[in-house]
């Protein structure tokens, strides 16, 4: 899953949240259905939802940890190389200023 971009991960998380919500709604609406098969289906769906929710939680925690690690690395780099960081920030600001000024 490391080959996925952040946008793809966000899309997966959003889609999984929608699926979980819809499945929970289906479970709620079918609570009145009786029969052995309906009960087994509801239980199987409930277990899969719990698994999906746990997977989603782990994915979010992993993304948060990676974002924090990248932030700490950037912070360490800026502290170790302050003048290079200032130069890069100035160059980026100049490019953005030129692009905005052209419009």
> Is 90 exceeded by the pLDDT of residue 28?
no
User: Which pair of structure tokens corresponds to residue 64?
Assistant: 């948060």
More confident residue, 92 or 7: 92
Smallest CA-to-CA distance from 42 within 54, 30, 51 is with 30
pLDDT of 80 > 90? The answer is: yes
Say if CB 17 and CB 49 are below 8 A apart: no
> Would you say the pTM of this structure is higher than 0.85?
no
The more confidently predicted of residues 11 and 89 is 89
Tell me: pLDDT of 1 over 50: no
**Which pLDDT does position 59 carry in this prediction?**
81
Intra-chain end-to-end CA distance of the chain, in Å: 40
Q: Which tens digits make up the pLDDT trace of 35-77?
A: 777 777 777 777 887 887 888 788 888 888 989 999 999 999 9
Residue 42 in contact with residue 89, Cβ under 8 Å? no
């Amino acid at each position: 899953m490391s080959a996925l971009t952040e946008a793809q991960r966000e899309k997966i998380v959003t889609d999984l949240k929608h699926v979980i919500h819809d499945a929970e709604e289906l479970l709620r609406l079918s609570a009145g259905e009786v029969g052995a098969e309906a009960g087994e289906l509801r239980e199987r769906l409930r277990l899969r939802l719990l698994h999906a929710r746990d997977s989603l939680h782990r994915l979010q925690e992993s993304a948060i940890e990676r974002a924090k690690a990248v932030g700490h690395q950037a912070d360490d780099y800026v502290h170790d190389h302050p003048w290079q960081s200032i130069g890069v920030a100035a160059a980026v600001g100049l490019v953005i200023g030129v692009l905005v000024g052209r419009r």
